[in-house]
Structure 1
Amino acid sequence: MNNNGKYSSLTWLLYFVVFEALVFIGLRWLLEDLGTSNQLQPENTVVPNWVKAVTFILLYILCLLFVVMLISNFVPSKHRRQLMRWVYLALAGMVVMLFFLF
């Protein structure tokens, strides 16, 4: 891979990390009133936290689909396979974000 391609990959990695951080911070702020942070309570905390997790997943996938549709309009068709690699990485990162959400 030449230097230009490596720079391009590093640039896309930076964009990806910024996107992930912004979406996580935004969704955490948006969903801060849902769920309970103290899991060791006498009352049931499963349902509110389940609602928070499902809402986070749905909103995250919605943001991801919006960005993929936006970027796919600007990326040539021969590079769309590389775009899907970032989508799969983002879906794997969503699982990690769910752990940090609680």
Structure 2
Amino acid sequence: MAEQKSNRLYGLFFFIVFEVLVFYLLSNLVSGMGIDNQYQAENTIVPNWVKAVTFILLYILCVLIAVVFVSNVVPSKHRGQLMSWVYLALAGMLVMLALIF
């Protein structure tokens, strides 16, 4: 039981590190896109839409690469936990998307 708790804590630590690194990497990559002042008369949604879609696609690509890497590295008895981390990452993507604007 204690081993399972420590494994979950290690997983949580690496998950948080992954999320923070991906957020800062992608926010730097898409920082030049979009319009900062959303309330201009001539503002259109297109530049911000491109920024959002680019962020989502790059984030999903990073998650897929991480899933493939982790599923090859971890022992088979821990692979069952992988999908719960993926679902948590997809929910975290919505929070990151709100923070990036």
Please report the TM-score for the alignment, with normalisation by the length of structure 2.
Answer: 0.94
Task: Note the residue ranges of structure 2 that are not aligned, 5 or more in a row.
Answer: none
CA contact (8 A) 1:35 1:45 kept: no
Verify: 1:76 aligned to 2:75, yes or no. yes
- Number of aligned pairs? 101
Structure 1 residue runs of 4 or more that deviate by more than 3 Å after TM superposition: none
Task: Note the residue ranges of structure 1 that are not aligned, 5 or more in a row.
Answer: none
> Is the partner of 2:15 in helix, strand or coil?
helix
Aligned to 1:23: 22
Equivalent residue letter for 2:15: F
Aligned to 1:61: 60
- RMSD across aligned positions (CA): 1.0
Larger mean Cα displacement after TM superposition, 75-84 or 65-74: 75-84
Please report the TM-score for the alignment, with normalisation by the length of structure 1.
Answer: 0.93
Equivalent residue letter for 1:99: A
Equivalent residue letter for 2:61: L
1:79, distance to aligned residue in structure 2 (A): 2.6
Distance 1:37 1:68 in 2: 33
Q: Classify 1:3/1:78 alpha carbon distance in 2 versus 1 (closer, same or farther; 3 Å).
A: closer
Identity %: 61
Distance 1:88 1:58 in 2: 16
